[in-house]
Amino acid sequence: MSQIFTQKQSTILNDLQLLNSQDQQTVLDFVHFLVSKHQSNNIENFADEPKEVSFYEATKEFAGHLDWGPGDLATNKQYLEGLGE
């Protein structure tokens, strides 16, 4: 299988060959660090995306805080008259 490298990739590989084994390992460790950094950024960005929530989920902390009005709209039979006709 042949691979086509960009100019930057070729330069990196050529320069990497000039380094001793210990320095090559240091470069490899740094590359792994950069890859993990980008992966964690992608996970954080995914977590930051807003998700759809129902009206109830968005307002459930306020349920039962009103001192006026019926507790349930079904208690007002006139309100329901003609519904669905």
Give the residue extent of every domain in the chain.
7-80
Q: How far apart (Å, rounded) are the C-alpha atoms in residues 53 and 84?
A: 27
Give the 3-state secondary structure percentages of the chain, helix then strand then coil, rounded to 5.
65, 0, 35
**Structure tokens, 34:** 């950069």
Q: Is residue 27 a contact partner of residue 16, using CB atoms and an 8 Å limit?
A: yes
Q: Residue 55 is which amino acid?
A: F
At 22-75, the pLDDT tens digits run 999 999 899 888 888 888 766 655 566 667 888 888 888 777 777 776 666 666
Q: Is the pLDDT of residue 20 over 90?
A: yes
Is the pTM of the predicted complex or chain greater than 0.75? Answer: no
| pLDDT value of residue 4 | 74
Q: Is the pLDDT of residue 5 over 70?
A: yes
